[in-house]
Chains A and B, each alone.
Chain A
């Protein structure tokens, strides 16, 4: 009994003792907390002491540093670097520019402008080999014998890998322009843009889209009958069930080789029977009735049968090996009768040759050429002649803006746009890069009037 109560009393005592201990910690948390919030707070670096003072033993290599005022752009360090982590660009000012590059602390007259001097410290292996060739002693490792020049940064940690590329060049864009580096800046901007573009892909590869129209075009030029119904109009129906019904009806009549008027009537009838017909579909049915067979359409268009782009069995006459030529021609004609597209035929030929081990370099080259030819989109010379001349954009004074405008022009032209659209594109592009000044607007309006 006595033990029982003494246990209880002891329990209460130890209970209180424990609670008061933890409360002491929570009360004095300001002094006791041991956590160091690292990126915001840092321990002070303890003073370096190796027990004796001898400069030979002081071999700290913290990071590479360049005194840009002393750099003459001789590229000696870049050449010495075994891992190519130093990248230097130089521009020689023209003699008549009168640009003064300044003098080094050794008194040497500098003759080159250095617009880029980057050191990628994530690549650097601290071999110190770049330090010795420097004639001006301007590149060196921080720390060691140079410990008085800079305070040693022991971490130089960064949030991104790009952050470890240190840029030392301090030349302004204006200076580069005065020494005739316009081309240099343009290239640099282009490179930057392409890197951005590559980043936005997020690692995906964009495959070249084969122009469907051109494929069909080449197929029809070779007079192959097209058995496939053209669903491009029917596909515009939004409702899935309705679309399927319409397609079914379309295919049925198409196979009977009915005219498009009949097809459209039949499609309408089927839809009405199934209770899917609404007045919204009127337009689509009307368009079906207005459709023409692709053969008829092509015969109207003389430009689609351009002699240069047609691929016939004669295209393979360049092949020297007789056996090879024979096989290729046989396959080509046979496949053509089946009504395949040129690209598919060429692919079959390639596979066939490979299995017979006759695919030599010449055949490869030829097939590649022909494939490109079959895929190449047809140029529409009509629209091209409508477009205003590129030289008209030369009225823009600012070099960068002009470059950008011209780039947009070429891009839009390639897309087959009209003059007005191209101008709109240019305006939009310049607006987004904040280069649309009043002068540029004036130039564009002049062009617009001249169209």
Chain B
């Protein structure tokens, strides 16, 4: 049962025109997704700034408060900083260079934004909070997450700037390369659970065990998936498309104001999507982690259920996002050749071997 279906059945009692009904049933989830994206970006930016500051023995934003509340005096201050930054971004001038391809440059951010927006449609937040329940769920997520590359190339090309173009080329090369290990690792859950559907995969994990603990091969697959996912979102250490020290800001160089904030928004949304996918494919989805420990028998102690499901899934996602940030502020940027080495010579062979091994494992056990 997806969210749109629930909306439709709830609204059908009003005896409206079916077109209007469908429009309402699609608009409301759309707004909810947008709200989630915005709140996610605001919270994640604050989290990122704080974590990076603490890792570098700084304090991060400390001055801007929210509703008169400044946060802790010593460490968790400045909670209004990202909101102030967001307002500042929206108020900035929207600059488009004279020699840029105007139409394409204006279009590109929206393509990137829509790509991450559409990906979100297939990503569950809880057992019943899945905007649209495709029976090819994972395939849909994979397909939609690669739409963003078009926007990136468009942005880089239309900016008419060498850094933008270099950044876009690198981004395209990187994202297309890392699609392969992601697809190969996402095949393992499909082989094991026997379905592409989100519910099938998670239900299998809830009945048996988390996929990360299923076999040594799925354990390795999780890391391959997660690291490739970081590369997909163009974050450090895989941030050669926007390497500040070489390319200014890569394909975002010529953008400012609202359009740049769309890039920003979709980047942080992609982070959330990768973390959510990793948690529902490998980490038991909306199931409570307490079932693994299994100290006290009895279902009611595991804090399972629709609301707890939302909490557990978001909790897992946030832990993964923290790990992403941890990576970012720990590792230096990879060189282009190192990046390709990691993808083509390490991840893909291992992923193929994993697939084979999991096939045999499934036949044997």
**Chain A residues with a Cβ under 8 A of chain B:** 4, 8, 15, 18-19, 21-23, 25-26, 29-30, 32-35, 37, 40
Contacts and interface: CB of A to CB of B under 8 A. Distances in A.
Nearest to A7: B346
What is the interface of chain B mostly: helix, strand, loop, or mixed?
A: loop
A15 B326 CA distance: 11
Contacts of B55: 22, 25-26
A33 B330 contact: no
B59 A25 contact: no
B57 interface: yes
B98 interface: no
Contact of B59 (A15, A22, A35): A35
A102 to B, nearest CB: 45
A32 B326 contact: no
B113 to A, nearest CB: 32
B343 to A, nearest CB: 14
A26 B62 contact: no
B56 A25 contact: yes
Contacts of A15: 331
Q: Interface residue tally of chain B, by bracket?
A: 10 to 19
B330 A19 contact: yes
A32 B57 contact: yes
Given A22-B55, A25-B56, A35-B58, 15 more contacts: A4-B345, A19-B330, A21-B330, A22-B329, A25-B55, A26-B51, A26-B55, A29-B57, A32-B57, A33-B57, A33-B58, A34-B57, A37-B59, A37-B62, A40-B73
Interface string B28-56: 00000000000000000000000100111
What is the interface of chain A mostly: helix, strand, loop, or mixed?
A: helix
B75 interface: yes
A328 B73 CA distance: 78
A40 B62 CA distance: 12
A8 B56 CA distance: 28
Q: Which of A29, A32, A37 has the most CB of B within 10 A?
A: A29
B59 A26 contact: no
A18 B58 contact: no
Contact of A29 (B75, B327, B330): B75
A29 B62 contact: no
Contact of A18 (B51, B56, B75, B330): B330
A26 B326 CA distance: 10
Nearest to B77: A37
B75 to A, nearest CB: 7
Given A8-B346, A29-B75, A19 B326 contact: yes
Contacts of A25: 54-57
A412 B25 CA distance: 65
Contacts of A18: 330-331
A18 B330 CA distance: 6
Interface in B47-86: 51, 54-59, 62, 73-75
Contacts of A37: 59, 62
Contacts of B346: 8
Nearest to A12: B223
